[in-house]
Structure 1
Amino acid sequence: TKHGVPFDDALPVFLDVNRLDRYDGREEYGEDRFLTIGLADDFELTVTYTLRGDTTRIISARKATRHEQLEYWKNR
């Protein structure tokens, strides 16, 4: 877990049909990273992840910022 949200608790975000996905190009990580904002148990979470073959690896999961929450609800 990183940022206080256990990765198992973040998994429902990937099932949210309204989630927002975007490429995370803020830094050079040596791998492609993505951010998704979605709902998990009625909480807006932001999950950073990477794809390794057929596997999605969660890097971090945290409560979405107020700005991210607004972005999520605006685009539903």
Structure 2
Amino acid sequence: MPFDWAPWKADSNELKHQVTFGFALRVFADRKHMTYDVSRPEDADERRKAVGLVEGKLYCLVYTMRGDVCWIISARRTNSEEDKAYGNLRA
């Protein structure tokens, strides 16, 4: 699956969260990653969240599909709620 993102958004995300989009894409390599819908009524696109392990730490990647392209919206370390959900999945 091809991936893409807005360069300015990737730069601002890295400044804010210290995570590059390219690095965070590795959540998809986690065989036990979880993906779920996080769309809001005000969103024009259906948004998805993927949570998975990268180098032993959990990361969250928010994206939408634009045709066959996975368009990255944001990437960050997970919060405690996401950590717990991932832990419950793996238990």
Indicate whether the TM-score tops 0.5. yes
Structure 2 residue runs without a partner (length 5+): 1-9
**Greater share of helix:** 2
**Conserved 8 A contact 1:11-1:40:** no
Q: Distance in 1 between matches of 2:55 and 2:71?
A: 20
**Greater share of strand:** 1
Pair 1:10 & 2:24 matched: yes
Identity of aligned residues (%): 34
RMSD of aligned alpha carbons = 1.2
Aligned residues: 76
TM-score between the two structures when normalised by the length of structure 2: 0.76
Deviations 1:6-59 (A, max 9, x none): 001101101211111111123421011101111111110011001111111111
Q: Distance in 2 between matches of 1:20 and 1:27?
A: 22
Structure 1 residue runs without a partner (length 5+): none
TM-score between the two structures when normalised by the length of structure 1: 0.89
Q: Distance in 2 between matches of 1:14 and 1:60?
A: 14
Larger radius of gyration: 2
